[in-house]
Structure formats: structure tokens, C-alpha cells
């Protein structure tokens, strides 16, 4: 995947990836949430809360279970 993300968005994606499935995702700024959702790397659950997608995990590691 060759989506270009800001450094802040990459760090936010890493924080989302570190969140367990049962935990509440970290609050992100609306701009970061929009950047990740727009790139297809996260899915929105509210204005500032998003969950990482399989594509988001692939972006970080190249693997998705």
C-alpha cells in the first residue's frame, strides 16, 4: 500500500493498532480521524473515535489476521 499519510496520522494509526478489541479507541483530532478514514485505514464510530481496519494493519505491518 502506498498511501501517503502525515507523521501524526501514522502515529495515531499505531495507537489504534495497540488498542485491544474490547477497549475504547483513543480520541483523535477530527483532522486525523478524517485522514485515516479517508485513506480507508480506519472506520468511523464518531467524530473523534475510529477503529483501525484490516487495511490499516496492513499499512503498518504488511500482515492482517
**pLDDT the model gives residue 1:** 45
**pLDDT the model gives residue 44:** 82
Which range, of 2-6, 37-41, 48-52, 53-57, averages the lowest pLDDT?
2-6
Length of the chain counted residue by residue: 65
As a whole number, mean pLDDT of residues 43-63 equals 84
Mean pLDDT computed over every residue of the chain:
85
Q: How many CA atoms lie within 13 A of 13 on its CB side?
A: 27
**pLDDT the model gives residue 39:** 94
Sign of the CA dihedral 56, 51, 15, 34?
Answer: positive
Cβ-contact 43, 50 below 8 angstroms: yes
Residue 65 has pLDDT above 70, yes or no: no
Amino acid at each position: 500500500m502506498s498511501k501517503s499519510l502525515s507523521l501524526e496520522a501514522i502515529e495515531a494509526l499505531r495507537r489504534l493498532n495497540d488498542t485491544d478489541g474490547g477497549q475504547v479507541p483513543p480520541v483523535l483530532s477530527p483532522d486525523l480521524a478524517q485522514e485515516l478514514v479517508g485513506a480507508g485505514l480506519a472506520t468511523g464510530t464518531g467524530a473523534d473515535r475510529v477503529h483501525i481496519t484490516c487495511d490499516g494493519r496492513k499499512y503498518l505491518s504488511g500482515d492482517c489476521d
